[in-house]
Structure 1
Amino acid sequence: MKDTPFQTLVLSTVFVLAVGTLLVLGRTILMPIVTATILVYLLESVAAGLRRLPVLRHLPLGVLRLLLLVCAAAVVFVLAAVFSATVREIMAVAPTYEENLRTMVDGIAGYFHFEDDVLWDRVTAETIGRIDLRRFSLAVLGGFTNLGSVVLMVIIYAAFITVERRSFQRRLTAGLRSPDQSARVLAVVGAINEKISRYLAFKTLINIVLGTISYAILWAFGVDFALFWAVVIGVLNYIPYVGSLLAVAFPVALSLAQFGSIGLTVGLGAALTAVQVTLGNIIEPRLIGRQLNLSPFVVLLALALWTTLWGIPGAILAVPLTSILAIVLASFDKTRWLALLLAERVDGPERPGSDTGSSQALTDS
C-alpha cells in the first residue's frame, strides 16, 4: 500500500521530533562521540598530508594516526590547563580592572564637568557600579575549567574509532544485502570524508594563523593573558559568522578594563578586526571556497539549532554536521530535493559516487 502525502508528512514530523528528543536527552553521550568522529576526520587529513613527507612516508598509517591522536590529546589537555589557570588569574585581577573602569569614567566626567551631575551619578551607579568582572569571568569562561572529563571521553572514543577503521569496511559490506548497496554506502562515506576532512584541515590551518597573528597583536599592545585570548580567538573562529565577532569582543572589552583607555581599546579592536576581515573575506574563501555548498541562511539556522541543542560545542560542529546531512540527503533520489534546499548553488551537492570521493573513504585502511 502506497503512503499518502499526509502519512509521509506525519511520519516525517514524528521522526524529526524523535531525533530532536534523542539529541537533547542523549547530549552527554552523543556529543563526545560526534566530536570524536569529527576529530578523526581532521586527524585523517593531517595524516594524509604528513605521509607525503620523506621521513614519515615509511611509517605505518595506523601508527601515524595514533601518534597524531596522542599529540592532539596532549595539546588539548595543555590548553585546558592554561584556560583553567587563566580564568583564576582573571578573577584575581578583576578588582583592579573594575577600579580602572571607575577611574576612566571619573576622568570622562571631569573632562565634561559631569562630576556633580545627579543624573550622571545615577547612570554610572546603574552601569559601571553594577559591573562584577569576577562573576562575569566565571560565568563566561568557567566552563573551560570543567572540560577534563569530556575531553578524556572524546580522546577515548577517537582512539577506538581510529583502531576500528580497518575492519569497518569489511563489516559494512557484510551487513548490506547487495554489492550495489555496499558500493553506494561507501561512496556516501567517502564523499563525507573527503569534504569534511578538507574543510576541517583548511579551517584549522586558518585558525592557527589567525591565533598566531592575534597573539602578536595582543602582545604588542601589552594585553594581559595574550596567549589565552589568542587561543580563544582561534577556537571561536570555528563558529560561522558570530564566532569571529565574539572572539574579538572578549579581549577588546577586557582591554578597556585593563588600560582604562578608549584610544588603546579602539586601536586593539581595529587591529584584530582587520586580521579577521583579511583572513575571513580574502584568504579563507580562496582556500575553502564554497566546497561544502551550504546556503548562508541554512548555516545560520543550523548554528541556531545546534547551539540550542548542544551549546558552544554544537555551534562549532554546526557546519560539519549540516554538511554531512546534505551529503546523505543528496545520495537518495527521494531526499535529493531536500539537499538542494540546503545548497547555495543551484546544481546542489554532488551525488556521492560520481567522483573520486569514495577513494578517500573513512573506511580506508
Structure 2
Amino acid sequence: MSDVSRRPDDPDQSILGRMRSIPRWAGIGLFIYATIYTLSYAKSFFVPVILAFLLTMVFSPVRRVFARHGIPAPLTATFVVLGLLVASLGILGTLSLPVTGWIERAPEITAQIREKASDVSGALSGVFEAADRLRELARPGEDVERVTTSQGGYAFDLATLIPGMMAQIVLTLVLLFFLLASGDMFYEKLVHVIPRFSDKRRAMAVVQDIERKLSRYLFTITVINAALGTAVGAGMWLVGMPSPIVFGTIAFLFNFVPYLGALAGIAIAAAVALVSFDWVGWSLIVSAIYFAITTVEGQLVTPYFVGRNLRLNTVVVFLAVSFWAWLWSAVGMVVAVPLLAAARTIANHVDGMGGLADFLGERHSETVTDAHPEDPRSENLIP
C-alpha cells in the first residue's frame, strides 16, 4: 500500500507531524527566552524608554488642548518636563534625608523592634535569634565585615545608586521632551508606513484607544494617589508619627504598585511606629489607620473613578506585577499594569484575540472597544 493511501491516524504520520511541530515550538521558546534576556540585560535603556512613552500618552491630551489655544508643542513639552523635573527633585529631597537616616540606623532599629517584639511574642524573638545565627554562619569573616563598614555600609550603597537613578530620570525626561515636542509625528509616520487604508484605520484606532485609556487611567490614578498620600500624611500627623510628609509621599509612590505597594507602606509605618512609641499598641493603631485609608481607596474610590473598561483580572495583575518586579525591580512594578492594559486594548482590536482580552479583563468584563476600527469616528486618522 502506498504512502498516499495511509490512514490519517497512522502512527508514522502522527510522529512525523509531532517532529515537524518541534522546530516551531522551539523557535517560539527561544524567542521568548531571548526577549526576556534582552529586556533584563538592557533594562537601563528600556526602562526610561517605556516610562517616556507612558508619560507621553498621559500628557498628549494636554499638549493638544494647549495646541488648540495656539501654544506650540515644544513650549508645552518644556513646561511639562520642567514640572516633572521639579516634582522628581522634590520627592527625592523629601525622602532622601529620612530614608538615609533609617537605612543608616537599620541595625539599631532592628534591635529595638526585636526587643519590643520579644515582649509581645516569644515566637518572634525566636525568629530573630534564628536570623542572627544564619547571618553569623553566612558571614565570611571579620575582615570582610571591616571592609564593608569602612565603605559606609547601607548609606554608601544608597549613595552609589543615586547617580544611576538621576541618569534614568534625565534620560526619561529628555526623551519625553522630544516625543511631546514632535506633536503627532508618530501618528503621521504610522499612517504613511502602513500600505492598506483599512490597516491604517485599524492601527490608528488601536493607538488612539491605547492613548485615551492609558492617559485617563494614569492621570486618574495619579490624582487618586495624591489624595491618598495627603490622607495618609494627615493620619500619621494626627497620631504623632515622625515625618508625616514622608509617609504621605511613600503612600503616593507605593500606591502605583497594586497590592504590594499598600502592604509595603503598612509594614514601614508599623515598623517606624514600633520604634517611635513606647506602647506597642500604637504600631497596631498606625497600621489600622494606613490599612483603612488604602482599603477605602482600593475598594471604593479607584473602582468608581477608573471605570470598568480598565479593570483587569486580579490574578493576572498580581502575576504581571511579580514578573516585572523580578525583571525591572521597582520600575517594573509601576509599569506592569499600564503594559497589561495596553495588551488588553490591542487584543480587543485584533481579530481572533477576543479570548485573550476577555481573560485579561475582570469577571463579567466586556471586550467591546470604545471605538471600533470600522466606526465612522475613526475615519480621521490623525487626532
TM-score (norm: length of structure 1):
0.80
Shift of 1:8: 5.8
Matches within 5 A, 1:191-210: 191-210=209-228
Q: Partner of 1:165: helix, strand, or coil?
A: coil
Matches within 5 A, 1:165-244: 165-244=183-262
Aligned residue number for residue 284 of structure 1: 302
Structure of greater relative contact order (alpha carbons < 8 Å, 6+ residues apart): 1
Amino acid at match of 1:187: A
Choose 229-238 or 327-336, whichever is displaced more: 327-336
Asked whether the equivalents of residues 66 and 159 of structure 1 are also in contact (C-alpha less than 8 Å), the reply is yes
Deviation per CA, 1:283-326, whole angstroms, max 9, x where unpaired? 11110132214211211221121111111111111010011112
Choose which of 25, 31, 46 in structure 2 pairs with 1:30: 46
Aligned residue number for residue 347 of structure 1: 366
CA distance in 2, matches of 1:70, 1:346: 39
Choose which of 271, 295, 298 in structure 1 pairs with 2:316: 298
Shift of 1:204: 0.6
Amino acid at match of 1:233: A
Asked whether the equivalents of residues 237 and 244 of structure 1 are also in contact (C-alpha less than 8 Å), the reply is yes
Asked whether the equivalents of residues 63 and 180 of structure 2 are also in contact (C-alpha less than 8 Å), the reply is no
2:84 pairs with 1:66: no
Deviation per CA, 1:251-304, whole angstroms, max 9, x where unpaired? 221221122421211111111111111111111111013221421121122112
Aligned residue number for residue 247 of structure 1: 265
Choose which of 71, 80, 94 in structure 2 pairs with 1:82: 94
Amino acid at match of 1:343: G
Identity over aligned pairs, percent: 22
Asked whether the equivalents of residues 104 and 261 of structure 1 are also in contact (C-alpha less than 8 Å), the reply is no
Structure 1: runs of 5 or more not aligned: none
Residues 304 and 126 of structure 1, relative CA distance in 2, 3 Å threshold: closer
Residues 304 and 91 of structure 1, relative CA distance in 2, 3 Å threshold: closer
Asked whether the equivalents of residues 52 and 176 of structure 2 are also in contact (C-alpha less than 8 Å), the reply is yes
Residues 283 and 156 of structure 1, relative CA distance in 2, 3 Å threshold: same
2:58 pairs with 1:42: yes
Deviation per CA, 1:126-171, whole angstroms, max 9, x where unpaired? 57998xxx97888899856752111111111111111223322222
CA distance in 2, matches of 1:124, 1:183: 62
Amino acid at match of 2:181: V
CA distance in 1, matches of 2:329, 2:84: 23
CA distance in 2, matches of 1:22, 1:219: 45
Shift of 1:83: 2.4
Shift of 1:94: 5.2
CA distance in 1, matches of 2:124, 2:304: 50
CA distance in 2, matches of 1:179, 1:218: 57
Matches within 5 A, 1:327-346: 327-344=345-362, 345=364
CA distance in 2, matches of 1:338, 1:120: 45
Q: Partner of 1:215: helix, strand, or coil?
A: helix
Residues 360 and 341 of structure 1, relative CA distance in 2, 3 Å threshold: farther
Choose 349-358 or 324-333, whichever is displaced more: 349-358
Residues 359 and 180 of structure 1, relative CA distance in 2, 3 Å threshold: closer
Aligned residue number for residue 313 of structure 1: 331
CA distance in 2, matches of 1:257, 1:356: 62
Shift of 1:25: 1.9
Choose 274-283 or 56-65, whichever is displaced more: 56-65
Shift of 1:174: 1.5
CA distance in 1, matches of 2:378, 2:256: 26
CA distance in 1, matches of 2:380, 2:170: 28
Matches within 5 A, 1:95-174: 97=109, 100-101=112-113, 104=116, 108=119, 146-174=164-192
Aligned residue number for residue 256 of structure 1: 274
CA distance in 1, matches of 2:273, 2:155: 14
CA distance in 1, matches of 2:33, 2:81: 35
CA RMSD in angstroms, aligned pairs only: 3.7
